[in-house]
Amino acid sequence: MTQPRRGRPPTGVRKERLQVMLEPDDYEALVLAADARGETQAELGRKLVKGELPWAEIERAAKKAKGRK
C-alpha cells in the first residue's frame, strides 16, 4: 500500500472519459477515418462531440481509406 500523497493536489485540468455505443459500421468508419487522417479515435470523437467535425467528414475519410486498401 502506498503512502497518502502530501502537499497540494495537482492544478492541471482533469479529463473525464465518455463512452458511447456505435453501430459496427459506424465504428469501422471511425477507425478507418482516424487512420486516414493520422489522428487517434479519441481525437476524432472529441471533435465530433464538440461539433468541430461533422460526421460527413468521417464518412468521406473512411471511403478514401477503403479505396486505398
Is the whole model's pTM more than 0.85, yes or no?
Answer: no
Higher pLDDT, 4 or 60: 60
| pLDDT, tens digit, 9 for 90 and up, residues 4-49 | 777 777 777 778 888 999 999 999 999 999 999 999 999 999 999 9
Task: Tell me the pLDDT band of 1, cut-offs 50, 70 and 90.
Answer: low
Burial (0-12, 13-18, 19+ Cβ within 10 Å), 46: middle
pLDDT number for residue 6: 76
21 within 8 A of 47, measured Cβ to Cβ: no
